[in-house]
Amino acid sequence: MSGRTLRWLMSLLRPPGGAGAGPRLTILRHHRVYPGAARPLYRLGVSESVLAAQIDLLRSLGVGPLTVAEGLRRLDEGRPGHWVALTFDDGYADNVHLALPRLTAAGAGATFYLTAGLMETRRAPWWDVLAHALESTRQPRLRVGFDGAEIDLALDGRAARLHALDRLLPVLRVPPAEQAERLARLRAALEVVDEAPCELATWSEAAALPRAGMEVGAHTLTHPFLSLLGAGAQRDEIGGSVTMIADRLGVRPIGLAYPGGDHDAGAIAASRDAGLDYAVVTRAGDNGPGAPRYELRRRGLYEGACLAPGGRFSRRLAIAELEGAFDRLRGVRAAS
């Protein structure tokens, strides 16, 4: 039995309805939004139809979706209830073209964390570079060595390339200069010469977000693993992204999403120094009035977390996910 099927069966045993009183803020984490026919190798997001169903569900429950800033304001006011904020990381153009119309039509809010430096230079994020290389190569195998270990991966078919992607993502969890060198070696081994397209929004496209009343947050300049950087580089990445967004959009961010949730005490200090009011991580859980403002928890509500085994959107399953019904099953510890 798959994990999805088990969670779906467990959701059928739960009483219908939303979560109880708070005050409590659940922050949902998304990245990309795809049209129905899209089947990228690295599917980092949800389909447009699933996002629409999630928004409709939150509206019907009367819990959101809100911006993170609005959710925190309600926590500070001590307003009873369970509130749900919706967030999108990275700043992809599909956030503007597919998510924003759905949000505005529903009178809903969301927060969009922008990777400002990559948007400015029109460079694809590193994971898109990797996925593009694996999708584009004509090589039947990948043979390359890192850290004294040989990697030998078959590339004969989509399933094999998905396995290769999963195997290679952790290899690139290294400081920026080393990451760039490893990507270059991978591209050379795969004999890929064309550059990965940048699918991030332009500044002109991103300007539609604050115009529509959405919150715009920072996501660093180049999306590094912050804990692998020194204090000065952390300040440059975080403070530089805040300044660039303010310069390009005329709105100064008050929130940050740590890339990949990766952070340490230095990243928290750099966030404070940049004048940010809060930062969010990727650790699952909810946030009460006393939640640490530079380590706010977020929940993923990906497609597998809200679709029944047959592929249809399951209201019961999505509500159970919002309530954290499967946290113990996944080994998630409750916030202290």
- Using the structure block, give the residue that is written with the tokens 């952790």: 170
Residues 237 and 178 in one domain: no
Residues of the chain predicted below pLDDT 70: 1-22, 329-336
Domain that holds residue 130: 126-190
Residues 91 and 174 in one domain: no
Q: Provide the greatest CA pair distance for the chain.
A: 59
Q: Domain containing 98 — which CATH number?
A: 3.20.20.370
Q: Which of 190, 209, 226 is the C-terminal boundary of a domain?
A: 190
pLDDT at 2: 57
Is 336 contained in some domain? no
pLDDT at 310: 81
Residues 133 and 247 in one domain: no
Residues 159 and 38 in one domain: no
Q: Which of 138, 171, 190 is the C-terminal boundary of a domain?
A: 190
Residues 83 and 223 in one domain: yes
pLDDT at 326: 79
Residues 110 and 46 in one domain: yes
Give the number of other Cβ atoms within 10 Å of residue 312's Cβ.
9
Is 319 contained in some domain? yes
Is 40 contained in some domain? yes
- For residues 207 and 30, what is the distance between their CA atoms, to the nearest angstrom? 20
Number of domains composing the chain: 2
Residues 100 and 15 in one domain: yes
Residue 31: which residues within 8 A CB-CB, separation 6 or more? 44, 45, 88, 89, 90, 92
DSSP tag of 226:
G
Residues 78 and 178 in one domain: no
Residues 163 and 238 in one domain: no
Q: Which of 161, 190, 219 is the C-terminal boundary of a domain?
A: 190
pLDDT at 18: 47
Is 85 contained in some domain? yes
Residue 147: which residues within 8 A CB-CB, separation 6 or more? none
Residues 131 and 220 in one domain: no
Is 335 contained in some domain? no
Residues 325 and 226 in one domain: yes
- For residues 70 and 75, what is the distance between their CA atoms, to the nearest angstrom? 9
Q: Judge contact between 184 and 166, C-beta under 8 A.
A: no
Residues 176 and 224 in one domain: no
Is 9 contained in some domain? yes
- For residues 111 and 303, what is the distance between their CA atoms, to the nearest angstrom? 20
How far is residue 314 from each of residues 6, 15, 57, 304, 310, measured CA to CA in Å? 13, 14, 10, 10, 10
